[in-house]
Structure 1
C-alpha cells in the first residue's frame, strides 16, 4: 500500500489552464501550499506543456530539497516544439510545445526523463498513464491501448523495479477504462477525476472493486470543474460545460441541504470523496494563495454526520443520465 497525504494540490491551474498565471502568482500559490502543510502535488507534462512541472520543480527545490513531499506525474504524451501561441488545449500562452499522444515503451521512458528534469527530482513517487480511454481517443483508442499494454506498461513496471518511481497507475476521467485495465494489469493506484463527487457518483462500483484489489484511489476534480466550488453563484460549469437541467437540479438540492445544516457546499464537496476508505487523497486544482487558504478551511470544516445521508438521498432523488458518469 502506498501512503500519501489526504490533501494534495492539482497543478493544472498553475500551468495556465484557461488563463495566464504569472510566475509570481504561481510561486505564491506554491509557497502558500507548502506553508499550509500541503505535502502532495499532482502534475503532468500536459499541464501548460511542461510549464506546471517547471514551476513545481523550482518550488520543490527550495521548499523540499530532501524530497519529503509526494509527487505524482504522468506519461502518455510527448511534447514537441511548436511556434503556436495563444490558447491551446485549454492552456493559454503556455510553454512552446505541442502534446502528442504516445503510450509506447520508448515514449514513456522519454516522457519520464523529461519530467524528472523539469521537476528536478531523480525519483517520482507515483507515475500515471494519462487520459487513456475510449471517450478521449475515439477510434484511436484501440491503438493507444495496445501501445500501452504492449510497451508503455512494461516501461512503467521497469522504472518501478529500478526504484525510479514508487508506484504506478492511471490518471483518467473515464470509469470504463479503469475496469478494463484492472482486468489486464496490476496497478498500485488510480487517479479518477470528476467521477466520485457529490454530483457524480459514477465511480462508486470502481472504488469498491479497488478495495477488493488493494488499489489505492486518488480523487481529482472534486468540484466537477467549478459547479461545486462556490455556493452555486456566478457562471456555473460542470465537466467544463454549462450544466444541464438534471445536474443543476441535483446541485440545487444539495446546496439547500448544506445551507440548512450551516455548511458551505464546497466544504462538503471537498470532504465527500474522503468518506470512502479506499480514497487516500483528494486533489483540487489550486491557483492563488486565497484558494490554498480556502481549501485548508474547507477540509477542516465541521460537517454534521446527519448531512451525509441527506446528501446521498438527494443524489438518489435526482438521477443523472448514465453518460454523465463516463462509464
Structure 2
C-alpha cells in the first residue's frame, strides 16, 4: 500500500464520500486504441492499492466491456469504494459489425449495439443489466448518460428529454429514495443540458466531461454557481480535454481547432517557465471550485496511472496560481488553488 493519501469529499448531502481523484472506465474499454484486458484490470487494482475509492463505468464503454472488467476487478474489494454507472442506453445483441446502427470509436467492442431509451422501464432495466454485467449487488451512483443536443441533435434530444421528464426521472428518484442507490445525476459533455436538469428536479452529482478544466471554464457561470445554490456536487471528467492538454491535437473527440491549439501552447509555455508540469496543473486546478468533489481521469495502463499519481502529488507553489490568476489564461472569476481568484 502506498503511503500517499487522498483528500475525501462528500457528494452533495448524501452519505457517499469519495477521494478527490477517481478512475474513469472508458479508456480501459478500448476507445480509439486497443487495450489489454489484464493490463486494464491491473490498472483498476493498482488504483485500489493506491487508495483511490471512486470508480466510474458505463454500459456504452466497449458496449459492456468496461462494466465486465470493472466488476471483475472490484469484486470482493468493494469495502470503502464508490461505484457509478450510467443509464440511457440499453444494449441489444448483434450478429456482426455490419448490424451496427451507430458509428463508434471502440476497438474490439463486445457484440452489442446501443439503444437510446430514457423511460422509466428502460432505466430500471438498464440498472439491473448493469448489476448483472458488473456481477455486483451494489451500485452507488446512477448517471443519465449523454442526453443533450451535442449527442442527439435538437429534434431527437427533445423527444428523448421528454422520456426522461415524463417517467425516467421518477425511476431514478424511486431507486434513490428506496436506498437501492445513493445518488443520482447526469453524465454529459455539455453543461447547458444540466441547467435543464435543474428545472426538472433535484440531483446529487453531475459528471461533466471537459467543460471545467484548465483549458476551458465555459461552465463556470451559470452552471457551477447554480450547483452551489442547489447543493449539487460535480465530478470533473476529461481533465485533459480528451488529450488536448497533452498535446494530442484532439478536443471534443475530434481534431482540435486552432484557437484550442493556441491556448494549449500558451498554457504549456506558462507552466514550463515556472517549472510546473502541465499535467499536474490540469489535475489540481478543478478542485479549487467548491462544487467540485472529484477529478476523473481515464488512464489506459498502470504506467499512465503512475504518471497521473505523480502529477496529482506534485507540489505546485502558491505563486504559480497567483500568477495564473492575473495571466488572462483562465476565465475571470475562476477560483484557483491557494484561495486566489482569476482577474
**Counterpart of 2:39?**
25
Q: Does 1:291 align with 2:308?
A: no
1:192-241 CA-to-partner distances (Å, cap 9, x unmatched) read 10000111111111111101110011000000000213xx3xx4212222
How many residues matched? 312
**Counterpart of 1:278?**
291
CA distance in 1, matches of 2:204, 2:330: 31
**Counterpart of 1:133?**
148
**Counterpart of 1:210?**
227
Gapped runs of 5+ residues in structure 2?
1-12, 333-343
* Mapped contact 1:195–1:201 kept (Cα < 8 A): yes
1:237-266 CA-to-partner distances (Å, cap 9, x unmatched) read 122222222111211111111111111101
After superposing on structure 2, the runs of 4+ consecutive aligned residues of structure 1 that deviate more than 6 Å are none
**Counterpart of 2:255?**
242
CA distance in 1, matches of 2:156, 2:313: 43
**Counterpart of 1:324?**
none
1:65-105 CA-to-partner distances (Å, cap 9, x unmatched) read x5421101100000000123499511111111001110000
**Counterpart of 1:14?**
28
Gapped runs of 5+ residues in structure 1?
319-327
**Cα distance change, pair 83–246 in 1 and its aligned pair in 2 (3 A):** same
CA distance in 2, matches of 1:182, 1:142: 16
CA distance in 2, matches of 1:72, 1:317: 30
**Counterpart of 1:68?**
80
**Counterpart of 1:169?**
185
Give the TM-score taking structure 1 as reference length: 0.91
Q: Does 1:221 align with 2:233?
A: no
Q: Does 1:100 align with 2:115?
A: yes
CA distance in 1, matches of 2:240, 2:135: 30
CA distance in 2, matches of 1:287, 1:248: 24
**Counterpart of 2:336?**
none
CA distance in 2, matches of 1:292, 1:275: 22
* Mapped contact 1:254–1:314 kept (Cα < 8 A): no
Shift of 1:317: 8.8
**Counterpart of 1:303?**
316
CA distance in 1, matches of 2:263, 2:328: 7
Q: What is the SS of the residue equivalent to 1:306?
A: helix
Q: What is the SS of the residue equivalent to 1:124?
A: coil
Structure 1 residues 129-138 or 80-89, which shifts more?
Answer: 80-89
Shift of 1:309: 4.1
1:265-287 CA-to-partner distances (Å, cap 9, x unmatched) read 01101111111111000100111
Shift of 1:316: 5.3
CA distance in 2, matches of 1:307, 1:159: 45
**Counterpart of 2:124?**
109
Shift of 1:171: 0.5
**Cα distance change, pair 176–112 in 1 and its aligned pair in 2 (3 A):** same
Q: What is the SS of the residue equivalent to 1:20?
A: coil
* Mapped contact 2:214–2:330 kept (Cα < 8 A): no
Shift of 1:29: 1.2
